[in-house]
Amino acid sequence: MNRREVVQKFLLGGTVLVLVPSVLESCSKSNAMNPGSNPPPGGSNINLDLSLAENSALASTGSSKIVQNILIINTGTGIVALSAICTHQGCTVGYNSSKADIECPCHGSVFSTSGSVLVGPASSPLRSYAVTQDGTVLTITL
């Protein structure tokens, strides 16, 4: 083997070592699609004061917000809290107020505001959390 062949094989091998892990990572259940931390363990609460500017939009029908990977939605008939993590591959879902559904941008799963699967590939519903309101304070029980 001459020097040119050795250099070519070295460069090819190096390229494969760099590209393969990044290609495989793009198909895995990565937390990169899920900003923020996971919800606290069960028995904890998330409290949101709707009188604060950062939460005031939740007082309007069709509004939503993600807090600690919990999707909080004002449906007009009430406030619902669901896991913001798609049950198919772990991507962060979002509320589509014009369709009144929850959509996963990664593979197209669609969920109702109760968390049930409307369109796959997800086969499991989003986890729901109890929401109570006392004055302007929402409490989500995890």
Q: What is the DSSP string of 3-49?
A: HHHHHHHHHHHHHHHHHHHHHHHTTS--GGGS-SPPPPPTT-EEEEE
* 21/38 same-domain check: no
56: three-class secondary structure by DSSP: helix
* 23/83 same-domain check: no
| 40 pLDDT more than 60 | no
Is the pTM value of this prediction over 0.85?
Answer: no
pLDDT band at 59 (very low <50, low <70, confident <90, very high): confident
43 and 97 both lie in a single domain: yes
Instruction: Tally the domains of the chain.
Output: 2
Alpha carbon distances (Å) from 30 to 59, 77, 85, 89: 32, 34, 11, 9
Contact 88, 82 (CB under 8 A): no
Tell me, yes or no, whether 63 and 21 share the same domain: no
The verdict on 120 and 64 lying in the same domain is yes
For residue 19, what pLDDT band results from cuts at 50, 70 and 90? low
57 and 15 fall within a common domain: no
Q: Which residue segment(s) compose the domain that 47 sits in?
A: 34-141
Could you tell me if 24 and 63 lie in one domain?
no
